[in-house]
Structure 1
Amino acid sequence: MKILYAKDFNRVLDFLTINLDGVTLAFSTAENDRSFNRHKDYGINNLNSIVKDFNINNIKYLNQIHSDEVLVYRNDFENITDKEGDALITSEKECAIGVFTADCVPIIIVDDKNKVIAAIHSGWKGTYNSIVTRTLEKMIDEFNIDIVNTKIFIGPHIRQCCYEVSEDLKEKFIDKTNIDRDILFKGRNLSLEECILKDVREFGIKEDNIYSLDLCTHCEEDIKLFSYRKSVGTYGRLFSFAFIK
């Protein structure tokens, strides 16, 4: 796994961006308190502004429900933003697909050779149910992606340093993942990233194609981020997305 640092990013407004071969990834911050809550007018306005800011045609996202449901967006799927799910795949150009988070894990998958992208919202339920694996499987079934060249980007989320869970949930994760408990947990603090890393490695993603932003939404000090736990429920939403040019 490779760690991405501030020097690895471009800064576009309130976003940390990465440009690959014809694909752009963007992770929002809370530097200017710019929140992307799809249920608020200001959130919709901020989402729609991405189209202008990044010079693309449209933006698509799902009604997230903490599931392992994976959908595919094509241009004839007009009302996909009304559909429930937590991962979205597309090969359409000039269309951003993204996910909302405020402690959960945003994951962007890119096959920049075949120009196929996915955006995943992986909370503890999605992580437990291996939503990243479900997404990779669907990307192969629908688009025959090239696993050798496929890249995984794990965005800002509440990390093991700050994510305490119940003893019951701890035992469930240990039993389900078979990851060494001393790696997966520090006390009752869970590493969602270790679960995701296990899934993508077992799927065949090369280590050099796995990237982590290594930013904790709860305790990061250099870059301002929204955190559900830190704000005790009064929180903004981050938006992580990708598009193909």
Structure 2
Amino acid sequence: MISLYKDDVKEVEDFLIYNIGKINIVFSTAKDDRSFNRYKDYGIKNLNSIIRDFNLKNVEYLNQIHSDKVYIYDNSNKSIKDEEGDALITKEENTAIGVFTADCVPIIIADVKNNVIASIHSGWRGTFNSIVIRTLEKMVNEFNIDINETKIFIGPHIRQCCYEVSEELKENFIEKTKINKDLLFKGRNLSMEECILKDIREFGISEENIYSLKLCTHCEENLKLYSYRRSVGTYGRLFSFAFIK
């Protein structure tokens, strides 16, 4: 796994951007309090501004429900913004596909040979149910992606330093994942990233094609991010997305 830090990505206004070939991977921040809540007028305005800011035709996302449901978007389809699911795949150019987070894990998958991308929202339920594997399986079955040319980016999320779960959930994760409990947990603090990494590695993605942006939404001090757990009642949403140009 390659650790990405803030200096490894290009910071443009409210975004952290990583470019690889025709594919752009973008993680929003909370700089200037810019939030992407799809249920608020300001959130829709900010989502639509992505089209202008990045010179795109469209931006697509799902009604997230903490599932392992995966959708494919192509330009022959109507908008799928009201479909319920937590992962979205496309090969269409000039269309951003993204996910909303405020502690959950955003994951971007990019087959840089065939130019196929996916965006995943992986909370503890999606992580427990291996949504990243469900997405990779669909990308292989529907688009015949090249595993050797597929790169995966894990974005800012609440990390093990700050993510305490119940004793029951701890035991469930240990039993399900079979990961060494001293690696998976510090006390009752869960590393969702370790679960995701196990799935990615077992699927056959090579270590040099796995990237992690080492930012915790809960305790990061040098970059403003949104965190559900840190907030009291109200919180913004980050939007992590990818597009092909």
Question: If the length of structure 2 is used for normalisation, what is the TM-score?
Answer: 0.99
Counterpart in 2 of 1:175?
175
Counterpart in 2 of 1:143?
143
Distance between the aligned counterparts of 1:153 and 1:126, measured in 2?
A: 16
Say which SS state the counterpart of residue 17 (structure 1) adopts: strand
Distance between the aligned counterparts of 2:219 and 2:135, measured in 1?
A: 29
Structure 1: give runs of 5+ residues left out of the alignment. Answer: none
Residue 60 of structure 2 contacts residue 79 of structure 2 at CA under 8 Å; is this kept in 1? no
Distance between the aligned counterparts of 1:41 and 1:28, measured in 2?
A: 18
Quote the offset at 1:78 in angstroms. Answer: 1.0
Give every structure 1 segment of 4 or more consecutive aligned residues whose post-TM-superposition deviation is greater than 4 Å.
Answer: none
Distance between the aligned counterparts of 2:222 and 2:51, measured in 1?
A: 28
Distance between the aligned counterparts of 1:167 and 1:5, measured in 2?
A: 32
Distance between the aligned counterparts of 1:50 and 1:233, measured in 2?
A: 27
User: What is the count of residue pairs matched by the alignment?
Assistant: 245
- Structure 2: which amino acid aligns with 1:117? I
Aligned CA RMSD, in angstroms, stands at: 0.6
- Structure 2: which amino acid aligns with 1:71? Y
Deviates more, 1:32-41 or 1:232-241: 232-241
Counterpart in 1 of 2:55?
55
Counterpart in 2 of 1:186?
186
Structure 2: give runs of 5+ residues left out of the alignment. Answer: none
Distance between the aligned counterparts of 1:4 and 1:136, measured in 2?
A: 22
Counterpart in 1 of 2:125?
125
Counterpart in 1 of 2:87?
87
- Structure 2: which amino acid aligns with 1:172? N
Counterpart in 2 of 1:31?
31
> Within 5 Å, which residues of 2 pair with 1:1-245?
1-245=1-245
Quote the offset at 1:233 in angstroms. Answer: 3.1
Distance between the aligned counterparts of 1:22 and 1:85, measured in 2?
A: 26
Quote the offset at 1:79 in angstroms. Answer: 2.7
- Structure 2: which amino acid aligns with 1:175? E
**Superposed CA offset, 1:43-90 (max 9, x none):** 000000000000111100000000000000011221300100000000
Distance between the aligned counterparts of 2:232 and 2:159, measured in 1?
A: 17
Distance between the aligned counterparts of 2:19 and 2:219, measured in 1?
A: 27
